[in-house]
């Protein structure tokens, strides 16, 4: 494998990808990890990974970190208070100046791009980044990631067996879910194999599911009858805030839920199955592991 730089390396997705690369026998000195905080990167450093200190807003640090790098795994910024597209484009510019040959970018699964979508505040940065990357002339691979299955219970509610209700305004919309760890495994597979040049992969389970189906799965697994209620967006948002959820997060959860209702993440795909060489973890399997302990 050519030398790779992984951004967001101390985050869950970046760290998991590095661990998969090491498990696959990639030499630690072939992996560079971009981190903002040296202390948080101590574990990676102890494994022999070449830790570079920098961030998306510091162009010089990006350019320095990319010296000698042929492949960049650009994990999208988690910052929501500024334009992430500006940060991503900074990294792409630095990569081009540094002679990086291939950029893998982690984006966002969606059926279409619509400025009127409740999720446009998230989608817009991915649209701008992907457009810039494609026009940069650098070979690219795009990961259009489904909604993290790891976060399903944030919508279902950890006390669902007590409340016996899933309360989320997702209507009958179907959502594609994916485990973060399986995205990382697929990224490691792409980084260590060829044939992924200028391709876009929809990364998720084969068949999306609705929250009505989720309620049925939990009912079948636990023997507790779970009711699914799809309220109006405003009622949902106000209910979250009454339970102490900060307004910014209540709005975000509501926006995702309304987008789910509109089928904006209803994208069946077998591409992750192909990249993993097996079917990814299904919603049923995830819930079985959650409730059958």
Segments making up each domain of the chain, as ranges: 4-145, 148-177+205-266+281-293
d(CA 55, CA 182): 25
Give me the pLDDT at residue 199, please.
98
Give me the pLDDT at residue 80, please.
64
Q: Which residues contact 191 (CB under 8 A, 6 or more apart)?
A: 1, 4, 17, 21, 71, 73, 104
Indicate the fold that domain 148-177+205-266+281-293 takes in CATH.
Answer: UDP-galactose 4-epimerase; domain 1 (3.90.25)
Give me the pLDDT at residue 121, please.
83
Question: In the chain, which residues have pLDDT < 70?
Answer: 80-82, 293
pLDDT tens per residue, range 47-92: 999 999 999 999 999 999 999 999 999 999 987 666 889 999 999 9
Q: Are strands 174-175 and 209-210 parallel, antiparallel or unpaired?
A: antiparallel
Q: Measured between alpha carbons, how far is residue 174 from residues 205, 207, 219, 257 in Å?
A: 12, 9, 18, 11
d(CA 77, CA 88): 7
| Assigned CATH class of 4-145 | alpha beta
The angle at the Cα of 120, spanning 116 to 126, to the nearest 5 degrees, equals 140
Give me the pLDDT at residue 83, please.
84
User: Is the pTM value of this prediction over 0.85?
Assistant: yes
């Amino acid at each position: 494998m050519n030398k790779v730089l992984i951004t967001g390396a101390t985050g869950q997705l970046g760290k998991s990808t590095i661990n998969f690369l090491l498990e696959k026998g990639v030499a630690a000195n072939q992996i560079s990890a971009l981190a903002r905080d040296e202390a948080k990167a101590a574990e990676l450093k102890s494994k022999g990974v070449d830790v570079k200190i920098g961030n998306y807003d510091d162009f010089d640090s990006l350019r320095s970190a990319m010296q000698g790098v042929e492949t960049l795994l650009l994990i999208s910024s988690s910052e929501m208070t500024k334009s992430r597209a500006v940060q991503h484009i900074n990294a792409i510019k630095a990569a081009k100046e540094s002679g990086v040959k291939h950029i893998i970018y982690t984006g966002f699964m969606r059926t279409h791009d619509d400025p009127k979508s409740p999720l446009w505040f998230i989608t817009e940065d991915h649209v701008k980044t992907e457009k810039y990357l494609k026009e940069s002339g650098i070979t690219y691979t795009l990961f259009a990631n489904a909604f993290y299955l790891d976060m399903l219970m944030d919508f279902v509610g950890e006390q669902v067996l007590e409340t016996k209700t899933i309360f989320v305004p997702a209507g009958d919309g179907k959502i594609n879910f994916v485990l973060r760890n399986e995205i990382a495994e697929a990224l490691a597979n792409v980084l260590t194999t060829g044939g992924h040049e200028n391709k876009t992969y929809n990364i998720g389970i084969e068949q999306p599911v609705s929250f009505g189906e989720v309620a049925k799965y939990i009912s079948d697994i636990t023997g507790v009858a779970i009711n699914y209620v799809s309220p109006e967006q405003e009622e949902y948002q106000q209910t979250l805030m009454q339970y102490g959820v900060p307004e910014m997060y209540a709005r975000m959860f509501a926006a995702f839920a309304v987008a789910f209702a509109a089928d904006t993440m209803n994208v069946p795909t077998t591409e992750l199955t192909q990249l993993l060489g097996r079917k990814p973890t299904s919603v049923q399997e995830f819930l079985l592991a959650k409730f059958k302990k």
